[in-house]
Amino acid sequence: MDSSLETAADREQLRRVVIDPVSRVEGHGKVTLLLDDDDHVREARLHIVEFRGFEVFIQGRPYWEVPVMVQRLCGICPVSHHLAASKAMDRVLGVPVTRSAEKLRRLMHYGQILQSHALHFFHLSSPDLLFGFESEVGKRNIVGVAGAYPEVARQGVLLRKFGQEVIRATAGKRIHGTGSVPGGMNRHLGVEDRDALRAEIDLMVEWSRAAVELVKRLHRADPALYDEFGRFRANVMSLVRADGAMDLYHGALRFRDADGKILVDKVPDQSYRSLIREQVKPWSYMKFPYLEQLGPDEGWYQVGPLARVQNCDFIPTPLAEAERREFIDHGRGEPVRATLAYHWARMIELLHAAEVIRDLLGDGDLLEGALLAEGVRGNEGVGIIEAPRGTLIHHYQVGDDDLVTMCNLIVSTTHNNQAMNTAVREVAHRYLDGRKLTEGLLNHIEVAIRAYDPCLSCATHALGKMPLVLELADAGGEVVDRVVRD
């Protein structure tokens, strides 16, 4: 697969443009472009600027603390880490999680999917999509959307709020909750919370349908852009339920190749290491995972909504399944590979999450039933979950004294590292090459990265957020232009 723009031959002679840091993306990241005198792009890279090893914090801590502690990894999807760590610790304890506990965790997780997907689409990406990549930069934000499309913005805000309420009701707090514990859960859903959520869920399903419609309308209005922008071949990976259904909470690993053919299937989560290797490149702190049997050059893959919607055989809720079929038909027999299709797939998942929540809220197991079970204690466990941004892997070893001795995390953004770099190169090559760079053109690159909804703070395991600034620098590293956005 194309990596021709990864490293230019005559790097020292080229002019350097830095997009630093990438705006409206969580964490610290930057893009560097090397241009020759005729403005041809010769090299394009997405780098992660900062690195702090979170694994070190975890080693030496008691295992029961880990599901709460790992939430510090990310301010956007702490629940994904909370649940992935819990699932890994279930294995350490050898516990078969009870029916009630699993349903409560599922409710929490789909609440997280709903809030994260709503945040990403409405707050972070809809400004580009509704106004255009080169529209006035001061208006290209959620405030601008609220002015021009008040109903869209309102539904986005309230969808997110609903997801956060689901999290609060199951985890105890919107962030840094404690609901999921090794071996199960520490709480049921309260009846008042259940009733309050139930009163709103039909509206949420309806708004989620409207969100899918909105993305489809955008695709129809400009097929040349939506079907071509950042399009490239890639393998995909996700968890899939035993019967082939989409399941974002639990399943076995499946890989498909760029033609949509299944490469590897039904690999149990505990065996991820037999499949995935990680490559280190000198210019990036973030590793590059790949499917071992294909090697680093051919084995890289995409994760996240675009991968999941096409990797499963069906979606087990009717409205989202109908949307999935329409999405697959759109590819006319080929996998849908365009970068902006991530948004379409993401909104199908948003709808699926709303439907799952609706079904779960009618389930009495959420209100009563055993929350914890006993098992035969072991020393190792892997927990994999489909986080909003893609597959999230937590792997621990725990000593007989209950302290963690080994911790390995592979987050969604790391899985997507090569895919995002490829997207950057595609877009740089196609839209920027040979042209005078403007903010609007550079924003094309950000639009491509943003479609992956990367969470660089997760990926670098760094703590905290960044100010959102875009800078253009010349060959000497001198800043020639600077835009600050909030």
Partner 1 sequence: MGGKFLFDGQPVPFEDGQTILQAARAAGHYIPHLCWHPDFPPHGSCKLCIVKVGGRHVSSCALPARDGMEVESDTPEINGERRALLQMLFVEGNHFCPSCEKSGNCQLQALAYELDMSSARFAHFYPDRPVDASHPDVLLDFNRCIFCELCVRASRDVDHKGVFALTDRGIRKHLVVNAESGRLADTDFAVGDRAADICPVGVILRKRVGFAVPIGERKYDEASISTVAMEKGE
Candidate ranges 132-140, 398-406, 414-422, 449-457; the one touching partner 1 (CB under 8 A): 398-406
* CA-closest candidate to residue 100, choices 20, 183, 44: 183
Is residue 174 close enough to count as binding partner 1 by CB under 8 A?
Answer: no
CB of 65 or CB of 433, closer to partner 1: 65
CB of 176 to partner 1, least distance (A): 4
Site string for partner 1, 276-315 (x = CB under 8 A): ----------------------------------------
Per DSSP, the three-state class of 485 is: strand
Q: Cβ distance 147 to 138 under 8 Å?
A: no
| Segment interacting with partner 1, rule: CB under 8 A, options 176-184, 229-237, 264-272, 298-306 | 176-184
DSSP state string for 60-93:
TSBGGGHHHHGGGG-SS-HHHHHHHHHHHHHHHH
399-428 mask for partner 1 (x: CB under 8 A)?
Answer: x-xxx-------------------------
Token readout for 37 is 């005198």
Name the minimum Å distance from CB 164 to partner 1.
15
- List the structure tokens of 385: 């979950």
Does residue 61 bind partner 1 (CB under 8 A)? yes
Considering only 2, 10, 56, 62, the residue that binds partner 1 (CB under 8 A) is 62
Q: Does residue 97 touch partner 1 according to CB under 8 A?
A: no
| Per CB under 8 A, 179 contacts partner 1 | yes
Query: With contact defined as beta carbons under 8 Å apart, do 107 and 83 qualify?
Result: no
Spatial contact of 140 and 148, defined as CB atoms under 8 Å apart? no
Q: Of 39, 65, 134, 227, which lies in the binding site for partner 1, with binding defined by CB under 8 A?
A: 65
Q: Is 284 helix (H, G, I), strand (E, B) or coil?
A: coil
Count of other CB atoms within 10 angstroms of residue 239: 25
Q: Does 182 bind partner 1 (CB under 8 A)?
A: yes
Among 39, 50, 64, 270, binds partner 1 (CB under 8 A): 64
* Ramachandran region, residue 198 (left: φ > 0; alpha: ψ -120 to 50; beta: rest): alpha
Structural tokens at position 398: 């725990």
Residue 181 C-beta: closest distance to partner 1, Å: 5
Two tokens, residue 134: 């080169």
Asked if 111 is part of the footprint of partner 1 (rule: CB under 8 A), the reply reads no
Cβ distance to partner 1 smaller for residue 51 or 64: 64
Provide the strand spans (E) within 134-192: 180-181, 184-185
Tokens of 232: 């490239």
Q: Is 71 in the site for partner 1 (CB under 8 A)?
A: yes
By CB under 8 A, is residue 367 in contact with partner 1?
no
Beta bridge partners, 279, equal: 288
Determine if 172 is a binding residue for partner 1 (CB under 8 A). yes
Pick the piece of the chain touching partner 1 (CB under 8 A) from 115-123, 166-174, 411-419, 420-428: 166-174
Q: How far, in Å, CA of 154 to CA of 156, rounded? A: 5
First to last CA, the chain: 36
Q: Which of 32, 135, 178, 397 binds partner 1 (CB under 8 A)?
A: 178
For residue 170, the minimal CB distance to partner 1 (Å) is 10
Work out whether the CA dihedral 19, 20, 24, 28 comes out positive or negative: positive
- Site residues for partner 1 per CB under 8 A: 60-62, 64-65, 67-69, 71-72, 171-173, 176-179, 181-182, 186-187, 399, 401-403
